[in-house]
Chain A
Amino acid sequence: MIDRDQVLHVARLARLALTEDEIEPMARELSAVLDHVATIGELDLDDVAPTSHVVEVTGRLRPDEPRPSWPREQILAAAPDANHDGFLVPSPQA
């Protein structure tokens, strides 16, 4: 069972604000899914190698050919806020 404090801790890690009325339903729903997920705890998996990739690809390299970057103004045009040469964000310190 996930409690209120755990929800708030995970939300902080996830950089996600939750309103007061979102916390309890989130705890309940996460708990229900985690109860189902817990069934994998029943399996004996001690000698099993984890799958990190389903098809075998080993360190394939592509030719290192220079190509142009995206034009700066095109990328900045999609940003919520920008000045002439970068993304503009609020100050990290309140």
Chain B
Amino acid sequence: MADPLDLTAAQAAERIAAGELSADELFASYRERAAADRAAGEEGLNCFTWVAEDGAPDADAGTLSGVPLAVKDLFCTEGVPSQSGSKILEGYEPPYTATSVQRLQRAGATLLAKTNQDEFAMGSSNENSAYGPVRNPWDRSRVPGGSSGGSAAAVAAGLAPWALGTDTGGSIRQPAALCGIVGLKPTYGSVSRYGMIAFASSLDQAGPLTRDVRDAALMLSQMVGQDPCDATSLQFPGEIAVPSAERLDGVRLGVPSELTGEGVGIEAGVKESFEAALAQAEALGAQLSEVSLPHAPHALAAYYVLAPAEASSNLARFDGVRYGLRAEGASDLLDMYTRTRHDGFGPEVKRRVMLGTYALSSGYYDAYYGRAQKVRTKIAEDFARAFEAVDFVVTPTAPTVAFALGEKTGDPLAMYLNDYCTVPMSLAGIPAISIPCGLSGGLPVGLQLAGAAFSENALLDAAHALEQSLAFDGSAARV
């Protein structure tokens, strides 16, 4: 029989249900690997901020049959540290569990570990974590992407069967691409945000990071649904099905020149891999055409107004009163607030809080926030028009493969450009998936497929057909 660690989550769940595999033993194998990485600290991949104690937790009976799950640090998990990668929440143990995690647990998942991330999900390299950077298992001198870098690296390295992440402007898709795994950002509202430590509420969405497309569908199928605790959550129309398509006959793929052409900064190797994947899609029966998203080049600018603006409001709650860190020796209440936030937030979080506060401040609101919200409308209209002509928009997920640790930390804007191809979909609230489509210089390249709101089933089917045909081999990243 194959090594249980080589099984996808869906395969493991099937074997456990059939009595061919012990959930306890699977948990113990993964726990041991995760604990070893945690013990190695920054000498290892540094994927985890917490790993479960020895002994598998009792799993609820359900589809997921006790398959272990790694969860991004920013999800509240009852009695387990939930720090959102920040020093200001060091050691914080919430009194409740996020709805999405709870749903997965009720479907039979067991909590294996919490994963490292950029502080408050702000970053594209996982170098903004207060708990140290995560390393890319393909090349340890490189970043795993971010902000769900720990989740992506853990799945790629085989330290967890699968992981839960969040995506605000690309934080699931970009690390999935850089680590050679699958990452899905669902339609905004289809998964409850209750219990996610908020970054930008109008954009934040939970989703799966998995070894293959089937696993992404399986995890999503157990997460979607309306939640009384999140008024923006919606009832997903229908159920998420297990994808099975092998062909792309009649599927219309649109390539937007604005996100793939000159001036986007797409590396030659990424471009080559992307174009080879498009040729493969055509061979499977897909019809390729060019589409236009005229406002997409303005998406990043709008995003870096809207997301920091929402963050500056969401992060106001970290003031040293109710939880987490409090600076010592303050002379009065205001002094305590300002010093706690100075000591507790890292440089990127400070920048975004400042940027958001500036954009919302008197005299600047209309020029920045007001305009950015209008740009968002134009971007959503661009996608709506594109989806009249094609089923999915396809782009490279990120303009480059994984870059070196430290390469972009000195230039915030260069770092933000990682999100160029993922941010437009976030602003439009539409689902998008990244699948590995090849290697460039020995490092994975991701292909992004995006569809209309609630098109997840068709999107997963198309991604599955392409994945099966591309037959990407991620085994080189396993530790």
Q: Chain A interface (Cβ within 8 Å of chain B)?
A: 2, 6-7, 9-11, 13-19, 22, 26, 29-30, 32-34, 36-41, 43, 45, 48-55, 57, 60, 62-63, 70, 74-75, 78-81, 87, 89-94
CA distance A86 to B317 in the complex (A): 17
A26 interface neighbour in B189, B232, B350, Cβ under 8 Å:
B350
Provide the residues of chain A in CB contact with B232, threshold 8 Å.
53, 55, 57
Give the contact-size bracket for chain B.
35 or more
Does A14 contact B312, Cβ atoms closer than 8 Å?
yes
Provide the residues of chain B in CB contact with A30, threshold 8 Å.
351, 354-355, 358
Does B335 contact A48, Cβ atoms closer than 8 Å?
no
CA distance A62 to B355 in the complex (A): 35
Check B141 for interface membership: any CB of A closer than 8 A.
Answer: no
- Of all chain B residues, the one with the shortest Cβ separation from A6 is B358
Does B380 contact A87, Cβ atoms closer than 8 Å?
no
Closest chain A CB from B436 CB (angstroms):
28
Provide the residues of chain A in CB contact with B332, threshold 8 Å.
90-94
CA distance A19 to B376 in the complex (A): 36
Does A15 contact B377, Cβ atoms closer than 8 Å?
no
- Of all chain A residues, the one with the shortest Cβ separation from B232 is A57
Check B403 for interface membership: any CB of A closer than 8 A.
Answer: no
Provide the residues of chain B in CB contact with A22, threshold 8 Å.
350
Q: Which of B16-24, B177-185, B274-282, B321-329 contacts A (4 or more CB under 8 A)?
A: B321-329
Does B298 contact A43, Cβ atoms closer than 8 Å?
yes
Q: Chain B interface (Cβ within 8 Å of chain A)?
A: 92-96, 187-189, 202, 228, 231-232, 234, 295, 298, 300-302, 304-305, 312, 316, 319-326, 330-339, 341-342, 345, 350-351, 353-355, 357-358, 361, 367-368, 370-378, 380, 412-413, 416, 427-429, 453
User: In the complex, how many residue pairs between chain A and chain B have their CB atoms under 8 Å apart?
Assistant: 175
- Of all chain B residues, the one with the shortest Cβ separation from A13 is B357
CA distance A89 to B336 in the complex (A): 8
CA distance A70 to B322 in the complex (A): 14
Does B234 contact A94, Cβ atoms closer than 8 Å?
no
Does A39 contact B413, Cβ atoms closer than 8 Å?
no
Does A51 contact B321, Cβ atoms closer than 8 Å?
no
A-B CB contact pairs (8 Å), 19 listed = A13-B361, A14-B312, A15-B337, A16-B342, A17-B341, A26-B350, A33-B412, A33-B416, A36-B413, A40-B298, A43-B375, A50-B376, A52-B373, A54-B428, A57-B234, A79-B323, A90-B333, A90-B335, A94-B335
CA distance A14 to B357 in the complex (A): 6
- Of all chain B residues, the one with the shortest Cβ separation from A7 is B354
CA distance A57 to B234 in the complex (A): 8
Does B378 contact A14, Cβ atoms closer than 8 Å?
no
Does B367 contact A41, Cβ atoms closer than 8 Å?
yes
Provide the residues of chain A in CB contact with B375, threshold 8 Å.
40, 43, 45
CA distance A63 to B350 in the complex (A): 39
A78-B334 in contact given A2-B358, A40-B375, A43-B298 (Cβ < 8 Å) = no
CA distance A90 to B326 in the complex (A): 11
Provide the residues of chain A in CB contact with B331, threshold 8 Å.
90, 94
Does A36 contact B300, Cβ atoms closer than 8 Å?
yes
